[in-house]
Structure 1
Amino acid sequence: MAKSGSEQESALTPEEAAASGMVLALHAQLAPQRMAVASAAGTRSFGELNARANQLVRALRARGVAPGAGVALLCSNRPEFVETMAACQRGGYRITPINWHLTGKEIGYIVDNCEAEAFLADARFGAKAIEAAALAPGARVKLAIGGAIDGFEPYEAAVEGQAGGNLSDPQLGSQMLYTSGTTGHPKGVYRRTPPGPSPLLEKLRETAAFKPGEDAALVTGPLYHAAPLALNLLFPLASGVGTVLMDKWDAEETLALIEKHRITHTHVVPTMMHRMAGLPKAVREKYDLSSLRWMLHGAAPCPVHVKEEMIAWLGPVVFEYYAATEGGGVFIGPEEWLEKKGSVGRALPGVTVSIQDEAGRELPAGETGTVYFKAPDVGRFEYFKAPEKTEGAYRGSYFTMGDMGYIDEDGFIFLTGRSAELIISGGVNIYPAEIDQELLQHPAVADVATIGVPNEEWGEEVKAVVQVKEGIHAGPELAQELLAFAANRLPGFKRPRSIDFAEDLPRLPTGKIVRRQVRAPYWPVKGKSI
């Protein structure tokens, strides 16, 4: 490919690369042929990925999209997703990946709200993209990935006409991801000033101990979500480690890919671990998983027995963090977890965690309240164009993700559920996650969501909504069996009073159950807020 006069010919230093969003260019310089992305939709070496990112920046610039502009991306797990992220990192753009499970109207709201001047969409979601584009007139530049979309320019044609050499004037870009929008419209989480060094990132680097040229990472979740994007994709790539993209998660396929690609690192959510641990022994033993050194999980509390099974099966390779798009930094390794089963870890150096009651008073060790993190002095998050929501997320210098929990006498944090999920029966607080954890140990249970339902005397009573394993008959006999099982394992006030069955439970794309949706049919509109 011919080089343009504007291309940067000199070698990059690591400091220059980090400051300008060109870290991938550094790895392309060192090992251009090394695999960077492998997927069913194509592969890219580091050299190819770097060139395509440069081409896309030039294509956007040629269409009038200047540094500082917003770029919206609606794309499945494929190489073009990674190319767009890399281009925005070095082009000075503010990238917003969008959940493709949303409706066209919801997508349109985000494209418009994030002030995107460019909208890149996967042809797989063409109908939604067309509807969304009509609601976001500010997105002047529209590119279609992997096929045609009416009103969109072909991505390939736009990119191929540009030079692939390094930019002479790269600028560090930013990300703005939107929350899932459980109440009202989704909110963009944004930082006007880049945050300082992250204690969590430093801990992840230390424990991951990447070996470029030897290691490989597996992307298990949709890349529009914060955790898969940061931890499955950008983290290993920035370390020079290639990634394998799953299009849709499946328990056995995960094992097959670990064996095939000799995967060393991955990030999962507890539901995935539960499904993998629940595979028949013959299936689990069919695959060689000895390459795996680091399996990170977060997003929700993990049932103790599931994590015990995973460590017994895979060895001491299961690490856990507690954080969110907004921030935070709690971590625990496998050996430490075995000493403090059920904990999500201790706050890392430089991170302050406070357990507070409804009045904002800090609670002593062992008492359950809302988990708050102290916000950093520099690089605090805000909700884009929503100052009232930003203000509501903070309590002084602290913010919360809505989780309930406590800190033990040794400083280990234990989560008990979310404040919106709390069941209050006869004035007693009951945490659904604790009941879920016990019922999940029954051999017939594939998954469960414990909720509070109306009770005239007590206000709420405990109900468990169960999804049974394949081949199991869900009926009155099993319901009675599960009630008896729970009665043997839980104190009286925590025991479910009834069991309902569901063919499937509503989930976020990460696999996390949306408990409010399970609860909604049981409450009249005028009743409890959901």
Structure 2
Amino acid sequence: MPAPPLSPGDRVALLLPGSTTYVEHVLALLRAGIHPVPLDPRSTSRERERLLAVVDPHHVVERADDLAALAARCGADHGPPRCRPMHCTSGTTGTPKGVDSGLLSPADAASLVAEEADLWGFGPDDVNLVLSPLHHSAPLRFALGTLLAGGRVVVPGGGEQRAFDAAEVTETIRGLGTARPVTMFCVPTHLQRLFAHWDAVGVPDTSAFRLVAHAGAPCPPAVKRRLLELFPAGSTWEFYGSTEGQFTACRSEEWLERPGTVGRARPGRRLRVADDGTIWCTVPRHARFGYFGDPDRTAEAWQGDAFTVGDLGRLDDAGYLFLDGRREDLIITGGVNVYPVEVENALREHPGVHDVAVFGVPDDHWGQRVCAAVVGTASAEELDGFARSRLSPPKRPKEFRPVPDLPRTATGKVRRSELQ
């Protein structure tokens, strides 16, 4: 049977593990104006049905050979991508949504590539180490930017992506069997696991790194300071963004001056915070998006050229953004608004707290009471005393629940609903 035709604007759902060739084939599709829809190959059949119903793909690809065949039919175009991948939101706060950029004009396509290259300095000598699953937006974006600049992408183990293995990643950083990595994107959990492994086996030579960017979840201050200690000066960054778009970027040295910030607006963008705390970001034309098949949600996300994903925050006088969390995570206890991120940041300063998530549970007297799930060695009594010295009464957790790990998505976001 002949292969179905491909046309610009088509959507191709990808349900297969990431690899270096996966990135190359995704780039070929993008250059042809075909929207790859990267999905988690580990999804259950029920999850797949739900996601595929959202994005309504023209083709579903589950084998590497089939993806290679589709990419080959796109030809040998070497221009910029004509669209962005259609990623799905994580679905932690509701029904997943397909983030659709549409087809880009030649000028917008060139601007999209230039913005990423100018910010992150992608170049032909880059070797990008991929740690996070390539069906997520940030690791795929860094890998694609590297290829577009003429650089290389490496996956630990050299084949298909597997579960994160600190020992395997360490060997890749040492450059055994391949070129030493120069850039990497990671989430704080990756850093915690790497540093714990390095405490046991020794720290590898990290001097080749020019860029280590992290995002996806709050980074514990102790981990941030260790990151600064172990990697070259000026090489480590944090950024704040979402599946929908990017807001800020921040060198770690800036964070030292303003602990807790996620930085200022990226070049070409502007931030404002509404009276209710909602963060809005004005973006250039090439960064616009819609939610596929959902004009109502698209309209809710935009005010003119500015969009929001519902996150809450504050801007200081110099334009540095500090996050307060998502409106969906807001705890209202005794009529007082409590933002979990603020409480978590305070508790992370305790040396016996390795990880923490704050959430609300129903309470007959207060409406909700503040609870904290804690990974670490600190006792509930110690944490209660610590909280009393740093937080006003409504913000202090009424319960501290010890847990071995926090339930997280693959991008590092805590699944608060599971804790509740």
State the Cα deviation string for residues 337-391 of structure 1 (Å, max 9, x = none): 3222221111134312111134xxxxxxxxxx11111254566211111111112
> Is 1:185 paired with 2:86?
no
Change (3 A) 1:484 1:250: farther
Is the 2:40–2:135 Cα contact (8 Å) retained in structure 1?
A: yes
**Aligned with residue 449 of structure 1, among 352, 357, 365:** 357
Residue 9 of structure 2 is aligned to residue 64 of structure 1: no
1:506 maps to what in 2?
Answer: 407
1:240 to 119, 136, 150: 150
Please give the alpha-carbon distance, in whole angstroms, between the structure 2 residues aligned to 1:157 and 1:427: 57
SS at match of 1:116: coil
Aligned mates of 1:443, 1:169 — CA distance in 2? 50
The answer as to 2:80 corresponding to 1:205 is no
- Residue 279 of structure 1 deviates from its aligned partner by 4.7
Residues 1:404 and 2:312 aligned together:
yes
Q: CA deviation at 1:103?
A: 2.1
Whole-angstrom CA distance in 2 between matches of 1:506 and 1:265:
28
Matched residue, 2:273: 355
- Partner letter of residue 357 of structure 2? A
Paired residues in the alignment total 409
Counterpart AA for 1:223: L
**Hey, what does 1:250 align to over in structure 2?**
165
Q: Aligned partners of 2:112, 2:33: CA distance in 1, in Å?
A: 25
State the Cα distance separating 1:458 from its structure 2 match.
2.5
Partner Cα separation in structure 2 for residue 303 and residue 481 of structure 1: 19
TM-score (norm 1): 0.69
State the alpha-carbon separation in 1 of the partners of residues 265 and 122 from structure 2: 23
Q: CA deviation at 1:224?
A: 0.8
Cα distance in 2 for residues equivalent to 1:382 and 1:239: 28
1:446 offset after TM fit, Å?
3.3
Tell me if the contact between 2:82 and 2:103 (Cα under 8 Å) persists in the aligned partners. Answer: no
Match of 2:129 among 211, 215, 218: 218
> Which of the pair has more CA radius of gyration?
1
Q: 1:494 deviation in Å? A: 2.4
CA gap of 1:109–1:427, structure 2 versus 1, over 3 A, is closer
Q: Using the alignment, how far apart are the partners of 2:67 and 2:230 within structure 1?
A: 44
Equivalent residue letter for 2:307:
F
Q: Which residue, out of 488, 492, 497, partners 2:398?
A: 497
SS in 2 for 1:486: helix
SS at match of 1:300: coil
CA distance in 2, matches of 1:348, 1:159: 35
1:227 to 138, 143, 146: 138
Say yes or no: does 1:296 pair with 2:204: no
Partner SS state of residue 309, structure 2 = strand
For 1:331, the equivalent position in structure 2 comes to 249
Distance 2:80 2:254 in 1: 43
- Measured against aligned partners, the alpha-carbon deviations of 1:21-60 in whole angstroms (never above 9, x if no partner) come to xxxxxxxxxxxxxxxxxxxxxxxxxxxxxxxxxxxxxxx9
Aligned to 1:35: none
Distance change (3 Å), C-alpha of 1:441 and 1:256: farther
TM-score scaled by length of structure 2: 0.85
Corresponding residue for residue 48 of structure 1: none
Structure 1 unaligned residues grouped into runs of 5+: 1-59, 122-143, 146-153, 359-368, 520-530
Letter in 1 for 2:171: A
In the alignment, which residue of structure 2 is the partner of 1:119? 60
Does the CA-based 8 Å contact 2:88-2:98 persist in structure 1?
yes
> Would the alpha carbon gap of residues 334 and 448 (structure 1) be closer, same or farther in structure 2, given more than 3 Å must change?
closer
- Contact 2:361–2:370 at 8 Å: present in 1 too? yes
Aligned match for 1:466, one of 374, 378, 383: 374
Instruction: Give structure 2 stretches of 5+ with no counterpart.
Output: 157-161
Q: Counterpart amino acid of 1:514? A: R
Alpha-carbon distance in structure 1 between the residues aligned to 2:312 and 2:383:
26
Deviation at 1:164, TM superposition (A): 11
Query: Cα deviation per residue 1:114-147 (whole Å; 9 max; x = unaligned)?
Result: 33222111xxxxxxxxxxxxxxxxxxxxxx33xx
Distance in 2 between residues matched to 1:499 and 1:393, nearest whole Å: 36
Q: Distance between the aligned counterparts of 1:341 and 1:437, measured in 2? A: 10
Partners of 1:295 and 1:346 in 2: CA distance: 18
CA distance in 1, matches of 2:345, 2:33: 45
Residue from 32, 40, 53 that aligns with 1:99 = 40
